[in-house]
Amino acid sequence: MSMPKQVGVSLLLITALVARTGWADEHGKEHAHKAPHGGIVQTVGKYHVELVSKDAELNVYLLDANEKTLPIEGREAKVVLQVPKREKQNLVLTPAGEFLRAAADLKDADAFVAVVSINLDGALQSARFAWKRAGGHGEHGGHEGGHEEHKH
């Protein structure tokens, strides 16, 4: 293959790789987000959902694309919480100022998975959060996540 063809093929492959990576990011890959309230942030459609865990509760904030807190009045939301070696809990999130809150016993939990479902733009949408204690007093540790949409 001639040098110009090699360069052309290389550029084509690089362009395809960059385009594919961008597509994947828009469709569910985890993104690095600054959590304005110290929690874990996941992308759900055009929104971001932040989960903040405390010893006795879970708090959920709805954020815009710029990580600014949005009003939660009139939002229906729930969370399915799974702490290892405990029964799965189905919790209702209720408004508490600028966030939604659910009581949850997390004081001795070293890890948990929470799936938050919230009504956004007429559709029930979900975000999955996996939390692990970093080795201290409830510090945010590693996490993973994703999202899915459920039309109703």
**Confidence band for 19, pLDDT divided at 50, 70 and 90:** very low
Q: What is the pLDDT of residues 21-39, one digit of tens each?
A: 332 333 344 555 578 999 9
Please give the share of the chain, as a percent, with pLDDT higher than 70.
66
Residue 16's pLDDT is 37
Does the domain spanning 32-151 belong to CATH 2.60.120?
no
Q: What is the pLDDT of residues 134-143, one digit of tens each?
A: 764 444 444 4
Residue identified by tokens 């080795």 is: 135
Residue 55's pLDDT is 87
| Average pLDDT of span 1-6 | 56
Residue 74's pLDDT is 86
Measured on CA atoms in the order 130, 88, 60, 128, is the torsion positive or negative? Answer: positive
Residue 130's pLDDT is 96
| Average pLDDT of span 41-52 | 95
Residue 3's pLDDT is 54
Mean of the per-residue pLDDT values of the chain: 77
Higher pLDDT, 130 or 152: 130
| Average pLDDT of span 109-134 | 94
Distance CA 61, CA 48 (A): 8
Please give the share of the chain, as a percent, with pLDDT higher than 90.
57
Domain boundaries, given as residue ranges, for the chain: 1-30, 32-151
8 A C-beta contact, residue 42 and residue 79? no
Q: What is the pTM of this model?
A: 0.69
Name every residue whose Cβ is closer than 8 Å to that of residue 110 and which is 6 or more positions away in sequence. Answer: 84, 132, 133
8 A C-beta contact, residue 146 and residue 27? no
DSSP E strands: which ranges in 3-142? Answer: 40-44, 47-53, 57-63, 77-82, 89-96, 99-103, 111-120, 123-132
